[in-house]
Amino acid sequence: MASTAQFAEIANLAGDPARAAMLDALMDGRALSATELANVAGITPQTASGHLAQLASAGLILVQKQGRHRYHRLANAQVAQMVEAIMQVASGLGPARKPVRTGPKDEALRTARTCYDHIAGRLGVALADALVRGGHAEISRDGALITPKGLAFLSGMGIALTTPPRSKRVLCRPCLDWSERRPDLAGTVGTALCQHSLASGWIRQSEGSRALAITRKGEAAFREHFGVVLD
């Protein structure tokens, strides 16, 4: 079983500002090099190296060496979900303490960003809303599903979902967006949607940030397929 000691060990790893910044940066699902992570954490490479060793040894991240670089990424979706859950609680005390400082970079993140494997931010929420409005999905606080109609809708767009044999509905996971405080779609469906949007050139990952840029093509696609217009 999971002893409280192990519990504390994991939480403690996430509890250091530098490591927290690293985990946050890795939440876009990409693999980052040690120096990149050192930068986002605002520490020297030596220190970062130590932190990364700890995270790796605990199994929170995976390291993949490629030439003289070593790329680090989150180990699995469970870790991502943990980070998500902590962020959820952390955002609860945010507004209560500081009146929310919204810089321009912050604004980009609010508009659209990746959340490990799916689209979050205003775009993510808007897409989820659109699917619900069109009768393609149902979302509640506890869960979400894609209706048969929605399944056809998505597959018509080239997004194929592997349906479990017994069920006619495809269940998916709602993820309470910490900036919008409304649910977006995560899990298998969210991943597929995000992948497809990237592959189609609707959105593009920014270089040093979790922010997503919506391309001109994407603007049109989201409006046409989903009726989504941001701002």
Partner DNA sequence: GCGATGGTTCGGGCATGGCCGTAGCATCGC
Partner DNA sequence: GCGATGCTACGGCCATGCCCGAACCATCGC
| Residues making contact with DNA (CB under 7 A) | 12, 16-18, 33-36, 43-54, 63, 67-70
Nearest approach, Cβ of 220 to its own copies (angstroms)?
29
Decide whether 142 or 207 has the Cβ nearer to its own copies: 142
Does residue 195 belong to the site contacting its own copies (CB under 8 A)?
A: no
Cβ-based neighbours of 26, under 8 Å, separated by 6 or more: 32, 37, 61, 72, 73, 74
Residue 199: which of 158, 152, 164 has the closest Cα? 158
Q: Which does 63 bind (CB under 5 to 8 A by kind): DNA, its own copies, none?
A: DNA
Under a CB-based contact definition with an 8 Å cutoff, are residues 172 and 190 in contact?
A: yes
Q: Which of residues 55-84 bind its own copies (CB under 8 A)?
A: 58-60, 78-79, 81-84
* Closer residue to its own copies (CB): 93 or 229: 93
**β-bridge partners, 145:** 138, 171
**Looking at 11, 53, 152, 220, which residue binds its own copies (CB under 8 A)?**
11
Query: Residue 75 or residue 161: which is nearer to DNA going by CB?
Result: 75
Residues 80-139 close enough to bind its own copies by CB under 8 A:
81-94, 96, 100, 102, 106, 109-110, 138-139
Tally of residues, the chain: 231
* From the list its own copies, DNA, none, partner contacted by residue 155 (C-beta under 5 to 8 A by kind): none
Write out the residues near its own copies by the rule CB under 8 A: 1-17, 19-21, 24, 58-60, 78-79, 81-94, 96, 100, 102, 106, 109-110, 138-145, 164, 166-167, 169-174, 178-179, 186-189
